[in-house]
Amino acid sequence: MLGQDGGSKDRSPVTQSPGTQPPVFEKPDKPARVREPEQGSLLGGFLSWALAGRTSAWLTSAALHMGIVLGLSLLFFSLQKKEQIELTVIPSILVEDSVDFLLDANSASSDGLELPSPPERTVGSTDSATTIVVTPPSLEGLEVAAITPLPTAMTIEMTSPLKIKGGGFSGRKLGNRRDAALAGGGTAASEAAVEAGLAWLAAHQWEDGSWRFDLEACPQCGGHCRDSGYFRSSTASTGLALLCFLGAGYTHQDGPYQEVVQRGLYHLSESMSITSHGGDLRDRFMGAAGGRDPGLLAAVDLVRGQGDNMYSHGIAALALTEAYGMTRDVDLKGPAQEAATFIVNAQYDDGGWRYSPGFETPSDGDVTVSGWQVMALKSASLGGLKVPYETWLRLEAFLDAMQREDGQYLYKRGGKPTGSNTAIGLLCRMVGGWPLTQAHLRKGVAKLGTERPDRNHMYFNYYSTLVQHHAGGAGWQRWNPRMREYLVKSQATEGHERGSWYFAEPHSAQGGRLYTTAMAIMTLEVYYRYMPLYREVALERE
């Protein structure tokens, strides 16, 4: 048994070398002395932006409030930590309303599939719509000290001994994407829907590079899109949006949205707090309107550990680790490793993760929060970053405790199995190295294969699509055309909402239209976002 209920064993965190500090960006007195940055790097983009005199006012605010935070930390250090506020961004619910409709025979054909050109970055038309001005800030070499390595016997890359073929990013390469979509079951219509969704996201990016669930506050939207969300974590919303661009093969170095992706990555990296446990991507100021520092109250929340949760960290960490894994940009390696290290140290003694890190509020893990952390660690491993072997062993024990004999998975100890949790648990088993012949995995996949896409619950649809795609077979052949055509036909086609989706269910209101749009886009990207784990797909260009 790796842990007991309500208890926490003493585990020393994976640490950085002394002296690691958050990045400080300064405008040089003499721009001519700045070395010419490399073309296409995050560092180069930021230097150009800074030398143009467009640095933000956050430096002054940061210096002032750092003093406040340090003072308050002395005041609150000896106080007992309060229970973490449990804000669930996208929890699981039972699948109730399934999709079942007649398919247009022509719509399912993938003959002649061509990747459409990205649409113009204007979505719909309104009299008061704001024109987007893309300002390309970039990350200035957030180099952090290397983490202290564990003994060699206790560290491995995920691919050994948890070795599996597939699951990589090669399908996302722009030269491979068409072939992967054709081989996997995509159509010209589904690819056009992806591109329209990305155009909508680009049109709703904030000037600081972030995305927000609150569309009413978005200067580029101003509430012209219905179904605005209210969850205030900018790292969660920015991470979700970036995952959509990365899933389509569009990075800060390649594709038509380089500046958009670059600005988003900069926002995540700037939002990271470097701690002794790694890089924390929970939004420090999520209680502030527009993401601005509200002053003393935010500082108090930061010291007390209140506010954002591990959902946000896992989503943002997944975006950073994917971006690094796809580009191997040296400016991203430090932030990506720090984000992964924080996940490692946040793991509970039972092997799972929940709303707050285990070193803050020891508790039992849950499957939904754990799913994002596992995928971020998987991407970190694909990029050659360090993930301790012990982390995977603890995860295995946690999944064993959540698994039922019939292959379904619970939400947490004492909970009930649901379609979403079963899909997440199965996906974690797959990326953790279980062969498709494993008895419990086979049972779970078979059970999931009897389900149909849900009309509103995109969280279930997203994870089930990933599992069915990896498993293949008759279940995937039934699921894919239903899911694909439902999303193609339900996408908004008019006005400022053009290219987006919204599905009303009890929990989608928190993330609103931006959340459901991101989940729909990633679901349609399934054919190339991760290559199949259990079968090989021949691509023309590697």
What does residue 358 show for φ and ψ, rounded to 5 degrees?
-60, -30
- Asked whether residue 194 carries a pLDDT value surpassing 70, the answer given is yes
CA angle at 186 for the pair 171 and 367, rounded to the nearest 5° = 70
Distance CA 69, CA 341 (A): 24
CATH number of the domain where residue 279 is located: 1.50.10.20
Could you list the residue range(s) of the whole structural domain that residue 217 is in? 84-128+150-529
Q: Tell me: the pLDDT tens digits for 527-537?
A: 999 888 876 65
Q: Are 113 and 185 in contact (CB under 8 A)?
A: no
Q: Tell me: the pLDDT tens digits for 97-146?
A: 565 544 443 444 333 444 444 444 433 333 333 333 333 334 444 343 34
Neighbours of 414 (CB within 10 A): 8
DSSP letter string, 437-490: T-HHHHHHHHHHTT---BSS-HHHHHHHHHHHHHH-HHHHHHHHHHHHHHHHHH
Q: Report how far apart, in Å, the C-alpha atoms of 90 and of each of 257, 314, 316, 368, 403 are.
A: 27, 13, 15, 8, 21
Task: Select the more confidently predicted residue: 19 or 204.
Answer: 204
In a domain, 409, yes or no: yes
- Asked whether residue 481 carries a pLDDT value surpassing 90, the answer given is yes
pTM, two decimal places: 0.72
Quote the mean pLDDT of the chain.
76
Most confident of 27-41, 143-157, 425-439: 425-439
Q: How confident is the model at residue 460 (pLDDT cuts 50, 70, 90)?
A: very high
- Asked whether residue 1 carries a pLDDT value surpassing 50, the answer given is no
Residues 302, 413, 433, 436, CA torsion sign: negative
Task: Select the more confidently predicted residue: 70 or 94.
Answer: 70
Q: Tell me: the pLDDT tens digits for 338-383?
A: 999 999 999 999 999 999 999 999 899 999 999 999 999 999 999 9
- Asked whether residue 2 carries a pLDDT value surpassing 60, the answer given is no
What is the pLDDT at residue 206? Answer: 97
- Asked whether residue 541 carries a pLDDT value surpassing 60, the answer given is no
Tally of domains in the chain: 1
In a domain, 139, yes or no: no
What is the pLDDT at residue 213? Answer: 96
**Average of per-residue pLDDT across 291-311:** 51
In a domain, 52, yes or no: no
Lowest mean pLDDT among 156-160, 283-287, 288-292: 156-160
Distance CA 461, CA 240 (A): 16
Distance CA 320, CA 326 (A): 10
DSSP letter string, 11-23: -PPP-BPTT----
Element (H, E) at 388: strand 387-388
In a domain, 412, yes or no: yes
Looking at this protein, which amino acid is placed at residue 52? A
Q: What is the dihedral of CA 265, 50, 234, 526, to 10 degrees?
A: -20
Neighbours of 60 (CB within 10 A): 9
Is there a cis peptide before residue 161, judged by omega within 30 degrees of 0?
yes
CA angle at 386 for the pair 381 and 392, rounded to the nearest 5° = 70
- Residue pointed to by tokens 């749009």: 517
- Name residue 109's beta-bridge partners: none
Q: Are 230 and 512 in contact (CB under 8 A)?
A: yes
In a domain, 164, yes or no: yes
Element (H, E) at 426: helix 419-431
CA angle at 368 for the pair 364 and 374, rounded to the nearest 5° = 90
Distance CA 129, CA 204 (A): 11
Instruction: Report the greatest alpha carbon distance in the chain.
Output: 68
In a domain, 525, yes or no: yes
Task: Select the more confidently predicted residue: 9 or 529.
Answer: 529
What is the pLDDT at residue 427? Answer: 97
Q: How confident is the model at residue 29 (pLDDT cuts 50, 70, 90)?
A: very low
Characterize the bridge pairing of strands 155-156 and 273-275: unpaired
- Residue pointed to by tokens 């790796």: 2
Tokens matching residue 442 = 């086979």
In a domain, 538, yes or no: no
Distance CA 255, CA 45 (A): 16
**203-212 b/e with 16+ CB inside 10 Å = b?**
bbbbebbbbb
Q: Tell me: the pLDDT tens digits for 486-508?
A: 999 999 999 999 999 999 988 89
Q: Tell me: the pLDDT tens digits for 34-89?
A: 334 444 555 555 444 444 444 444 444 445 555 555 555 544 444 444 333 333 33
**Average of per-residue pLDDT across 390-412:** 96
CA angle at 429 for the pair 312 and 442, rounded to the nearest 5° = 135
Q: Tell me: the pLDDT tens digits for 236-257?
A: 999 999 999 999 999 999 999 9
Distance CA 262, CA 332 (A): 11
Q: Tell me: the pLDDT tens digits for 305-328?
A: 447 999 999 999 999 999 999 999
Q: CB-based contacts of 445: which residues, under 8 Å, 6+ apart?
A: 407, 426, 436, 467, 468, 471, 475
Task: Select the more confidently predicted residue: 427 or 58.
Answer: 427
In a domain, 499, yes or no: yes
Q: Are 514 and 213 in contact (CB under 8 A)?
A: yes
